[in-house]
Chains A and B, each alone.
Chain A
Amino acid sequence: MKNVLLICRKELNSYFASPIAYLLMAFFGLIFGFGFYTATRDMVRFSFMAQMQGQMQPQNVNDAIIKPLLGFASTVALFLIPMITMRTFAEEKRTGTIELLMTSPVRDIDIILGKWLGAMLLYLCVLAMSMINIAMLFAWGKPDLKPVLVAYLGLILQGGCLLAIGTFISTTTRNQIVAGGVTFFVCLLLWLLSWFTAFDSSATGSVVNYLSIVTHFENFSKGVIDSKDAVFYLSMIFFCLFLTHRAFESLRWRA
């Protein structure tokens, strides 16, 4: 455990020593802020119009702003995650520092967990940018807190899952661009799977739909914790980290 935290801290330090962490945070903050602006503007406009027509039903802030916004955030995360994970192992393999890690008295699994956890923490920092906007809603409105927390939990689980996939892909190459590109493609595919099968009710359709990472986020974004979705994410994280461990081990055998 001590070693996991050691590697994790080193990872986090190197993210923040390079522009990548700041760029991702700025990029996400900007896009999310823009989404927040349009969503809030539209809601204000709609409720204003509703009032003009004498309908006294102000829209729910949770439904009108927070839910679509966090859904939007989960999509944006698909694009950011390859940039977080692409360097994890590819860079170490290229510069040869992997030799230091692999010849130190540290278990392989500690290295992998440390790297994944480091990526996870950076992802949390990036997500935290969205809280600036959400905090504004709490300051001037009265949204329900629980569904927001559940949606964030969903974002974290989905992110953890994609980060584990990205970490696995990064162990298989020494080229960061390849690692990032392939991870991006896989993320995109997992996102698109839900589109392809949206109206497909056949058995294969439902299996493919189940595999899509985005479909499992829907319940979270509604504020519902379905154990089915949580189990999917957790088992996916476990499976991908297991694959990473195998790939990492094979580095020794294939060299």
Chain B
Amino acid sequence: MIKVEGLTKRYARTVAVDNISFEVEKGQIVGFLGPNGAGKTTTMRVLTCFLPPSSGTANVAGFDVLENPMEVKKRIGYLPETPPLYPEMEVDEYLHFVGKLKGIPSGEIRRRVDEVTGRCAIGDVRKKLIGKLSKGYRQRVGLAQAIIHNPDVLILDEPTSGLDPKQIIEIREMLKSLAGEHTIILSTHILSEVEHSCERVIIISQGKLVAIDSVTNLTNRLRGSEAVAVEVEPADGHPSPVEVQQRLEQVSGVSRVVMKDSKNGRINFEVESLQGRSVRADLARSVVQSGWNLSELRAVGLSLEDIFLQLTAAEQKEETKQKEEVKVEEGVKQ
């Protein structure tokens, strides 16, 4: 449905998006993830024909954004970061206007407006001025505006920013109900967002593509080793934390043992295993055989947060390394 190849966007001095390629299939929800200023909005603006790419191509529903912008625009619903609303209009009036702008035949507009107001739960504010609406309602009117012409592709730039938790859940539910018939790309810098609503993630950082995969794959792939939380409950001050740590380190397959904290008389450890080794059974056995009380043992999955930080940090580290190397070289030259 969406095909981006070698997309680069340069502004006067900076490169906002640097040679990004990806594909999105029909009916998928894809999360576009990256820290602020990573180039998410720029990529979306290229896809919506708001900005032309400096080089590379972007294809939406088989139409190129440069050669056939009209056809692309007809098939895209776009919610920018700040919803594009006219404060002096009533919600109904606004949706009618956008409907006509998107080329819905006038006989159908009323029906479409009824449908999206129902879907976005803004039926009770239809006669209100947009300028008087709360942030949550504005966001929903913005979403209604994006789906009014039933587009094949929905592009949402941070659809949940600035909303309260209840509203965020509502928007998420709405997105889920929209998936399937629409292909959705949503950008966010909130990771739980992606974990909740997306099937696939595209992570970009400083304009470069860092990773593109399904959420589960990404977690698996990056979970290089298994992490296990172990909690031991000593009796009468025995054993001491150091003793336990030493014992755990002796278990085969364990690469690292970190003592987290000890409170309420319990000692918590996080044990990391070597790649591909499952150590949970061995850990339990060694604790029990030593005659200590094992009060908890559970696998700790890496959250998307960790993965994201790992990925973007790795990227940055490499870059600073390169810069340092350049500096050293320059120093040598001097």
Contact B85–A97 (Cβ < 8 Å): yes
Contact A17–B102 (Cβ < 8 Å): no
Residues of A within 8 Å of B45, CB to CB, are: 99, 255
Contact A105–B70 (Cβ < 8 Å): yes
Contact B80–A99 (Cβ < 8 Å): yes
Decide if B103 is an interface residue (CB 8 Å cutoff): yes
- Mask: chain B, 65-91; 1 = CB below 8 Å from A; 0 = not: 000001001101010111011111100
Q: Closest chain A residue to B157 by CB distance?
A: A99
- Option from A95, A98, A106 in Cβ contact (under 8 Å) with B101: A106
* A77 nearest CB across to chain B (Å): 25
Contact A97–B88 (Cβ < 8 Å): no
Distance A107 CA – B49 CA, assembled complex (angstroms): 12
Q: Closest chain B residue to A10 by CB distance?
A: B97
Contact A104–B101 (Cβ < 8 Å): yes
Contact B84–A6 (Cβ < 8 Å): no
Contact B88–A18 (Cβ < 8 Å): yes
Interface residues on chain B, number (Cβ under 8 Å): 29
Decide if A182 is an interface residue (CB 8 Å cutoff): no
- Option from B70, B84, B86, B89 in Cβ contact (under 8 Å) with A99: B84
Contact B49–A103 (Cβ < 8 Å): yes
Assuming the contacts A252-B52, A253-B52, A255-B51, asked whether A103 and B78 have C-beta atoms less than 8 A apart, the reply is: yes
Q: Which residues of chain A (83-129) have a CB below 8 Å from chain B?
A: 95-107
Decide if A14 is an interface residue (CB 8 Å cutoff): yes
Decide if A13 is an interface residue (CB 8 Å cutoff): yes
Distance A13 CA – B82 CA, assembled complex (angstroms): 23
Distance A86 CA – B11 CA, assembled complex (angstroms): 27
* A92 nearest CB across to chain B (Å): 9
Decide if B50 is an interface residue (CB 8 Å cutoff): yes
Decide if A3 is an interface residue (CB 8 Å cutoff): yes
Q: Which residues of chain B (144-168) have a CB below 8 Å from chain A?
A: 145
Distance A10 CA – B100 CA, assembled complex (angstroms): 11
Q: Which residues of chain B (45-63) have a CB below 8 Å from chain A?
A: 45, 48-52
* A171 nearest CB across to chain B (Å): 16
Contact A105–B82 (Cβ < 8 Å): no
- Option from B87, B88, B93, B102 in Cβ contact (under 8 Å) with A104: B102
Residues of B within 8 Å of A14, CB to CB, are: 86, 88-89
Residues of B within 8 Å of A101, CB to CB, are: 101
* B183 nearest CB across to chain A (Å): 16
Contact A103–B50 (Cβ < 8 Å): yes
Residues of A within 8 Å of B80, CB to CB, are: 96, 99-100
Contact A100–B145 (Cβ < 8 Å): yes
Distance A167 CA – B248 CA, assembled complex (angstroms): 75
Residues of A within 8 Å of B48, CB to CB, are: 99, 103
Distance A107 CA – B74 CA, assembled complex (angstroms): 12
- Option from B49, B86, B101 in Cβ contact (under 8 Å) with A3: B101
Contact A103–B89 (Cβ < 8 Å): no
Distance A95 CA – B85 CA, assembled complex (angstroms): 8
Q: Closest chain A residue to B145 by CB distance?
A: A100
Residues of B within 8 Å of A104, CB to CB, are: 73, 98, 101-102
Contact A97–B84 (Cβ < 8 Å): yes
Contact B101–A6 (Cβ < 8 Å): yes
- Option from B51, B74, B81, B84 in Cβ contact (under 8 Å) with A105: B74
Contact B50–A102 (Cβ < 8 Å): yes
Distance A107 CA – B98 CA, assembled complex (angstroms): 15
* B9 nearest CB across to chain A (Å): 9
* Across the A-B interface, the 9 shortest Cβ-Cβ residue pairs: A100-B84, A17-B88, A105-B73, A97-B84, A103-B48, A104-B101, A105-B74, A99-B80, A96-B82
With A96-B81, A99-B50, A104-B101 given, can you name 10 additional A-B contacts, CB distance below 8 Å?
Answer: A10-B86, A13-B88, A95-B87, A97-B86, A98-B84, A99-B45, A100-B78, A100-B80, A103-B49, A105-B102
12 cross-chain CB contacts under 8 A:
A14-B86, A17-B88, A96-B80, A99-B50, A100-B84, A103-B50, A104-B102, A105-B74, A105-B102, A105-B103, A252-B52, A253-B52
